[in-house]
Amino acid sequence: MKKTISYLLILVMLVTLFTGCGAQKDPAEPAATPGSSEPTGDKILHLRKTSSLQSTDWEATTNTTDMQVVWVQVFEGLYTIDEAKGGYQNCLAEKIDVSEDGKIYTVTLVDAKFQNGDQMKASDVVFSYNRAMQNSRFNYVTSMIDKIEAKDDKTVVFTLKYPYSAISHTFWSIKISSEREVTEAGDSFGTTPHTAGTGPYYISEYDVASGLKLKAFEDYWRGPANIKDVEYRIISEDAAAVIAFENGELDYMSDAPLAEWDSLKVSSGENNSLTKGNNIRFLGINYLSPTNNNILGNKAVREAIFYAINRDNVNIAATEGLGDPAYEYMPHEYVATSPSYLDGNFELYEYNLEKAKQILKDAGFTDADIAAGIDVGTLTTYGAGTGEKAKQAQVIQANLAEIGIKCEVYVAEAAQITPRLYSQDYDLCIFGDSGNYDFNNIRQQVHSESTGMYVVKYADPNSPLDYKKIESLVDQGVATDDVAKRLEIYTELWAMVMDSATILPLVHLPVGIVWSDELDPGGLCPTYYHIYNFKWVE
Amino acid sequence: MYRYVFKRLLFLIPTILGVTLIIYAVMSITPGDPGRSMLGTSAPQADVDAYNEALGYNLPFFQKYLNYLIKMIFHQDFGISYFTKLPVFQEIWPRFLVTIKLAFFGIILSTLVGVPFGIYAAVKQYSAFDTITSLVAFFMAAFPAFVLGLMFLYIFALKLNLLPSYGIATFAHYIMPAMAISIPPAAQNMRFTKSSMLEAIRQDYVRTARAKGAPERTVIWKHTLRNALLPVVTQIGLNLGMLIAGAVVVERIFSIPGIGSLIVDRISYKDEPVIIAGTILISITFTIVMLIVDILYAYIDPRIRAKYAKLKG
C-alpha cells in the first residue's frame, strides 16, 4: 500500500511539473484599446532584447535597449531623431516658431491620438514636460526651461531662461504621455502595459520574466504600421542570439555580436549592415590623482601616455577590428555641431612611440626610471560582463609598458566603478559616451555645474586648462543657433580639452545589424530603429 | 520522528538569519548606491542623496538589517526593486518557479539515468557495460553545463532544427536545458552509486545473505541497494541545491527567465532588494531540500528511526 501511494505521489508530481510547462500569458493585458485590432494571425516580428524591460514609463528607462522600445516605438517627442540622415526632425511638433531673442518657442502640434483613444492636446505636452522637470534625470535637458503654457489645444509656448539652441535635444528627449492615463495610474505607471503614448505601437504584454509584446496602434496619426505584432525575446548570451537568428527565431537583430560577425554575415546573405556607431570609448586621466606624488599632474606624462596608445590595437581588441579609431568626442557624421578631426583644428595624439619616449626624457625621466617602470597607478574600467573595455585596458597597459610606464588593470561591474569615476577616485580609466546628437552634451563632461557627471574635474585650481573659459564656451555654444558659429565655438572648446591631455578618444564602436530575408527594414538606423518603417517582403 | 523534523526546522532560523546578514554585509561594503543607479549620472548629488534617504539606504547597517528582517518576517515584504519599482516578490516568484521547475527536471533526469546505470555497473563490475559507462561518466562529469548547452543548441536547434533555442513556452523548450543541466550530475550520480554499491556489496551482511541462499535479486535490491542509497540520497539532495543555485549559466544560454539570471542581471544595477530576496529564497530552498534529505534518511535507514523512537519512548 505504501509503495502504491509513493508511486502515485511521484506520478502526480511529474504530471504537475510537466503540465506546469504550458505557455503562460501575462494577465496584465491593457485596457480595451479603441482603434486597435485584436490578433489578426499576422506574422509576428521577433526581435532580440538583451535584458528585460525596466519599465513601460519612458521616464524610468535608463538603458539604450529599453529606450529603443519605449522611446521610439511606444512614445514620441516633439522631435524625433533620424540617424540615417543625421539630425532631428519634426514629430509631434508640426512646426516651431522661435522668437527673435531665441527665448520663446511656439510649438504647433500635429493632430495625433494617444493609444487609449484620447486626442493629444497641448495640456498633455505641458503635463509631460512638467513631470519630466520634476525628475532629476532630465535636468540636463530641462534646466533651461522657465515655463511651458498651453495657448490652445494645439499650441504650446516654451519660455526659456536664456537662448538655448540645443533645445532640439530636449524636444527629442522628452516624450509626450497622456495626462489622464498617467494621472489615473499614479505611482504604478510604468509597472504594467499601458496605452499612454502616441507611438505606432503599444505594449500588449509586459512580463519581467518572459518578455515583451507590442501591437500596432491602428489609429496612429501617420497611419497604421505594416507589421502588426512584435515580440521581443530576452536573450542575454550573444552565442544564443546568433543561433536564434540563424535558426530563424529572430527576424532582426541590432547590435549584433561583433565576435560572431563573420558567421552572421554568411548566414544573413546580403541582409546585414555594419556602420559607425554613436558610441565612443575614451581614456580619461585624473590629473588630480595623488598616486606616485601626483605623477599624472605632470602634463608630459599624460601626453606620453596618449602618444603611446595604438588605437588600431585598441580597435582590434574592442571590436575585432570592425570599429574605427576615434579622434572626436562625438562622431561628426551624427552631430552637425561636432568638430571633425578631418579639419585638423585640434591635437589628435596619433600613435608615436618615439615621440612618447622623447617627451618623457624631456620631462626629466632617466633611462633608469624608464627601465624600472614609471608607476602611474591603476587603469580602471567597468563592464566585467562584456569584457570589451577590459580588453582595451589590457592593450593600453601593454602599449604603456613599451615606453616604460606601468599600470595595473582593474575591472569590475559598472555599479561599483562609475561612482568612483564621477568622484575622481581613479588614476586612469576607460569610459564610454554614446547617444549624443548635439555637441552641447559635452557640458556634462566639462562644466562645473555637472558635478557627479564628469570623469575629469576641470574646475580646480590645478586645472590643466582655463576652465572658466571652457564654461563660457559651453554657454556661448547654446546662445546661438547658427551651426557654423557653434561649430567654431566647439572647435575651440575641444581643442582646449585635447591640449590638456586629459581625455583621449579611443575607438568608435560599430553597430552591426542583420535581418531575415522575409523582412524589409526600410532605412537602417544604427541605434533607434523604427519598426514602423519595417515591412514583410511580399 | 516529529521531534527530529521539528529540530531540523528550527535550524532554518539561524541559517536564514546568517544568510541575510552575510548578504547584507557584502552589499553594504560594495561601492555605489541605488540613488545614482536610478536617477542616472545627470542627477544632482542632492537629489541622489534625497532618494537614498527616502529608501532608508543611509541608515546604520544594523538598523537597516533589522528593518529588513521585520518587514520580511512580519509583513512578507521584501521591498521594492530599485530597478523596476515593482514589488520584489512579484519579480522573483515567477522566476523562482521557473528555476525550480528546471532544477526538478534536471534532478529527475540525472537520477533516472545516473542511479540505475550506477547500480548495473556495480553489479556487472569489469563488464563492457561497466567500462563504457564509467568512461562516459568520467567525461560527462567534467563537461561544464554551458558547453553542453551550446553543443545542444548547435546540434538540436541549429543543425537538426528539432527543438526551439529560446524560452520556456512549451515542454519542448525545457528539453535541452534540462539535458544540459542534468548530464554532469547524472554522471556524478552514476559514479557515486557505483562506488557506494561496490562498498555495500563487500559488506559481511551481504555475504551472509548470499550464504543463507537468498536469491541474487533480493541480495541486490533488499540488502545492498538500501544501504548503498544513503550517500546517494545525500548526493542527489546536494545536486538539487546546486542545480537551483547554479542554473544561472544554463538559464542565460537558453534565455530562461530564472532567478539565477535575474540576480546576476541586477548585480550590475546594485538592485539590493532583488539580490537579497533572491539569495534568501535560494538559501531557504536549499535548506528545505537538505531537510527532506534528512527525513528520507530516516525513512531509508531504520537505525535513525529507531534512535528517535527510543528517545520518544
Chain-chain contact of B94 with A207 (C-beta, under 8 angstroms): yes
Q: What dotted CATH number matches A3-19+41-233+512-536?
A: 3.40.190.10
Cβ–Cβ below 8 Å for B157 and A247? yes
Can you tell me whether residue A202 is helix, strand or coil? strand
B291 CA to centre of own chain: 13
pLDDT of residue A9: 47
Buried b / exposed e along B232-271 (16+ C-beta atoms within 10 A) = bbbbbbbbbbbbbbbbbbbbbbbbbbbbbbbbbbbbbbbb
Q: What is the CATH number of domain B89-312?
A: 1.10.3720.10
Taking the CA of residue A429 and the nearest CA in chain B, the distance in Å comes to 17
| Partner B contacted by A8 (CB < 8 A) | no
What's the ipTM?
0.74
Contact A21 B173 (CB under 8 A): yes
A190 vs B: CB within 8 A: yes
How far apart, in whole angstroms, are the C-alpha atoms of residue B167 and residue B145?
17
Q: What are the sequence ranges of the domains in chain A? A: 3-19+41-233+512-536, 279-508
- Are the folds of A3-19+41-233+512-536 and A279-508 the same? no
- Which residues of chain A are under the pLDDT cut of 50? 1, 5-6, 8-9, 12-40
Q: Which of A210, A249, A250, A424 to mutate to test binding with chain B, by most B CBs within 10 Å of its CB? A: A210
All residues of chain A having their beta carbon less than 8 Å from the beta carbon of residue B254 are: 240
Tell how strand A503-515 and strand A252-253 pair up.
antiparallel
**Phi and psi (nearest 5°) for A157?**
-115, 120
Q: Is B170 in Cβ contact with A23 (below 8 Å)? A: yes
DSSP secondary structure code for residue B270 in this structure? T
Closest CA to A455 of A435, A475, A429: A429
In a mutational test of the B interface, the residue from A237, A249, A423, A424 whose CB has the highest number of chain B CBs within 10 Å is A237
The pLDDT, as a whole number, for residue B40 is: 66
Which residue in A54, A240, A444 is closest to B83 by CB distance?
A54
Share of chain B above pLDDT 90, in %: 9
* C-alpha to C-alpha distance for A534 and A513, rounded to whole angstroms: 14
Q: Which grid cell sits at B278?
A: 533572491
Chain B positions in Cβ-Cβ contact with residue A24 (cut-off 8 Å): 169
Helix, strand or coil for residue A208? coil
Residue with cell 534528512: B294
Q: Distance (Å) from the C-alpha of residue B145 to the closest C-alpha of chain A?
A: 14
Tell me the pairing of strands A405-412 and A374-382: parallel
pLDDT above 70 coverage of chain B, percent: 95
What is residue B79's predicted lDDT score, i.e. its pLDDT?
86
Closest alpha carbon to A526 in A537, A538, A510, A502: A510
CATH of A279-508, one of 3.40.50.2300, 3.40.50.300, 1.10.10.10, 3.10.105.10: 3.10.105.10
Closest Cβ–Cβ partner in B168, B171, B261 for A236: B261
Assess B94–A contact: CB distance below 8 Å, yes or no.
yes
Give the dihedral of Cα atoms A451, A452, A457, A461; nearest 10 deg. 40
Distance CA A225, CA B172 (A): 33
Q: Report chain B residues whose CB lies below 8 A from the CB of A440.
A: none
Helices A388-401, A299-308: axis angle to 10 degrees equals 110
- Looking up cell 508530481 gives A13
Query: Which among A289, A242, A205 has a CA at the least distance from the CA of A28?
Result: A205
Tell whether A451 is within 8 A of chain B (Cβ). Answer: yes
Question: A10 in contact with B at a CB cutoff of 8 Å?
Answer: no
Average of pLDDT values for B92-100? 90
Give me the pLDDT at residue B168, please. Answer: 80
Give whole-number Cα distances, A489 to A330, A334, A437, A477, in Å.
15, 18, 17, 6
State how far the Cα of A538 lies from the Cα of A194, in Å rounded to an integer.
32
Give 3-state DSSP helix, strand, coil % of chain B, rounded to 5: 80, 0, 20
Q: How far is it, in rounded angstroms, from Cα A182 to Cα A201?
A: 17
pLDDT of residue A238: 87
| Residue A439 to residue A222: CA distance in whole angstroms | 31
Please list, in sequence order, all residues whose beta carbon lies within 8 angstroms of the beta carbon of residue B235, skipping any fewer than 6 positions away. Answer: B188, B189, B192
User: CA dihedral in degrees (B292, B297, B300, B306; nearest 10)?
Assistant: -120
- Whether B255 sits inside 8 A of A451 (CB atoms) is no
Q: pLDDT band for position B280 (50/70/90)?
A: confident
B2 contact partners, CB below 8 Å, separation of at least 6? none
pLDDT of residue A21: 41
A245 reaches B (C-beta below 8 A)? no
Flag if B36 and A190 touch (Cβ within 8 Å): no
C-alpha cell at B289: 531540500
Q: Is B165 in CB contact (< 8 Å) with chain A? A: yes
- Nearest Cβ partner for A240 among B94, B153, B265: B153
> In chain B, positions 96-115, which contact chain A (CB-CB < 8 Å)?
97-98, 101, 104-105, 108
**CA dihedral of residues A161, A166, A167, A172 (deg, nearest 10):** -150
Name residues 200-239 of chain A within 8 A of B (Cβ). Answer: 207-211, 233-237, 239
A79: enclosing H helix or E strand: strand A79-82
Task: Tally A–B CB contacts below 8 A.
Answer: 146
Radius of gyration (C-alpha) of chain A in whole angstroms: 26
In chain B, where the domains are located? 2-75, 89-312
Tell me whether strands A519-520 and A324-325 are parallel, antiparallel or unpaired: unpaired
B44 to chain A: which residues are within 8 Å by CB?
136, 139, 451-452
Chain A residue numbers touching B85 (CB-CB < 8 A):
55, 60, 187, 190-191
Q: How far is CA A208 from the centre of its chain?
A: 22
pLDDT digits (tens, 9 = 90+) for B155-166: 998 888 888 888
Residue at grid coordinates 612611440: A353
Q: Which DSSP symbol is given to A175?
A: B
Bridge partner list, A152: A155
> Which residues on B lie below 8 Å from A417 (Cβ)?
31
Look at A419 and B161 and tell me if their CB atoms are within 8 Å: no
Write out residues 169-208 of B within 8 Å (CB-CB) of A: 169-171, 173-174
Distance CA A65, CA A310 (A): 31
> Rg for chain B (alpha carbons), in Å?
24
